[in-house]
Amino acid sequence: MARFTLPRDLYHGKGSLEALKSFKGERAMICVGGGSMKRFGFLDRAIAYLKEAGMEVELFEGIEPDPSVETVMKGADAMLKFKPDWIIAMGGGSPIDAAKAMWIKYEYPECTFEDMCKVFGIPELRHKAKFCAISSTSGTATEVTAFSIITDYSKGIKYPIADFEITPDVAIVDPDLAETMPKKLVAHTGMDAMTHAVEAYVSTANCDYTDPLAIHAIEMIMQDLVPSYNGDMAARDRMHNAQCLAGMAFSNALLGIVHSMAHKTGAAFADYGAHIIHGAANAMYLPKVIAYNAKDETAKKRYGVIADYMHLGGKDDDEKVALLIAYLRKMNDDLNIPHCIKNYGADSYPCEQGFVPEKVFLERLPEIAKNAIGDACTGSNPRQPSQEEMEKLLLACYYDRDIDF
């Protein structure tokens, strides 16, 4: 038996933020990040709509990119004091992910972060509050997913929380919010969405319900991501839908080792002054993982289907896989994303020598590989890598080597 879960309601299209007027409740806490929602007026509109619905509103502001365990605990404490019956998470993936974890701790104050990280082990929520997610970026799709990514900075590791319980009750997918994204964010979130769709399609948990969502998302992203990056706002609006479809697919079909590797490398070199931004990590690692997974015949056939829908050509599946990899690498070029960690600058742009020193990478490689194998996303990957294979994959992602194993 399998399960397919999405939010109860999804409001989409320009102006759909106004759906907040129809919410029924007494108290709403809005969780937001670094200020873009306030700067562009969306936070004030959300507050006004909720007050029009008769609710008292309190803010939890300043959720950082790559939210920490400490931020989650602070937010949960604020919720325990205010006692909201609606949690409204607004902004990019970070405030929404953080608010999902806060929600668990609010409903179950005795729950530890370690308890939250037990895959599909969250107790039943919604005894105290319902959850609404309003995304301002076109990539993470956390507004429709059963996932949250929280960083334990003491360990330098990003942990996925995975449970259908944290799928939001309501998602608002309003493209007006996405039109405010800076160019670099368009690139990174867009390639995150592409990775979601591709990994969902070849995941061992794919099914008839997830495949059409993944394929259509890939077709849309292929058509609209680069134009969106170059300032086409109609394409930007369509990308907001495409990333949401990719999220619906992967929330139910799960992901693979592109995400496992991105989770475990993202904060692993923070002591050298930067993170490997999640979407950029996915973009760099996806071509390598496709080459690795394509040694599995079932996965190779499914990559071939993706290439067919993308009209890439190729006389057999081997050619189709090669063309798919080449296409994705060209997308990275068009989006100014490097091909490997060695050339990943602290600003995320390509450079001759990136911020991660070779010696440091090699020293930390065994532990990163071990952690990636243990990541929640590894179990649904088409091939299960050994420690040696994961280390070789990560080396290929550092040096931009071909995959021959």
Q: What string of pLDDT tens digits covers the 405 residues of the chain? A: 999 999 999 999 999 999 999 999 999 999 999 888 999 999 999 999 999 999 999 999 999 999 999 999 999 999 999 999 999 999 999 999 999 999 999 999 999 999 999 989 999 999 999 999 999 999 999 999 999 999 999 988 889 899 999 999 999 999 999 999 999 999 999 999 999 999 999 999 999 999 999 999 999 999 999 999 999 999 999 999 999 999 999 999 999 999 999 999 999 999 999 999 999 999 999 999 999 999 999 999 999 999 999 999 999 999 999 999 999 999 999 999 999 999 999 999 999 999 999 999 999 999 999 999 999 999 999 999 999 999 999 999 999 999 999
Render the burial of 176-208: b for 16+ CB within 10 Å, e for the rest.
bbbbbbeebbbbbbbbbbbbbbbbbbbbbebee
d(CA 189, CA 137): 7
Residue linked to tokens 């998470």: 89
Structure token digits, residue 67: 């939210």
The three-class DSSP label of residue 117 is coil
Q: From the CB of residue 268, how many other CB atoms can be counted at a distance below 10 Å?
A: 23
Structure token digits, residue 214: 């993944």
φ/ψ of 103, rounded to 5, equals -60, -45
d(CA 260, CA 250): 14
Residues 239/190, Cβ–Cβ less than 8 Å: yes
**Radius of gyration of the CA atoms of the chain, in A:** 20
Residues 130/170, Cβ–Cβ less than 8 Å: yes
Residue linked to tokens 């059963």: 146
The pairing of beta strand 170-173 with beta strand 130-135 = parallel
Residues 157/267, Cβ–Cβ less than 8 Å: yes
Find, among 80, 37, 85, 36, the residue nearest to 57 by Cα.
85
Structure token digits, residue 376: 């929640």
d(CA 323, CA 329): 10
pLDDT the model gives residue 38:
93
Residue ranges of alpha helices (H) inside 135-277 are: 175-178, 183-202, 211-229, 233-253, 257-266
The three-class DSSP label of residue 347 is coil
Beta-carbon contacts of 45 under 8 Å, excluding residues fewer than 6 positions away, are: 17
What is Dmax (Cα atoms) for the chain?
Answer: 63
Render the burial of 289-317: b for 16+ CB within 10 Å, e for the rest.
bbbbbbebeebbebbbebbeebebeeeeb
pTM given for the model: 0.96
Beta-carbon contacts of 96 under 8 Å, excluding residues fewer than 6 positions away, are: 31, 89, 90, 133, 134, 135, 140, 142, 143, 148
The pairing of beta strand 157-162 with beta strand 130-135 = unpaired
Q: In the 8-state DSSP scheme, what is residue 68?
A: B
pLDDT the model gives residue 35:
85
Structure token digits, residue 295: 């040694």
pLDDT the model gives residue 156:
85
pLDDT the model gives residue 337:
98
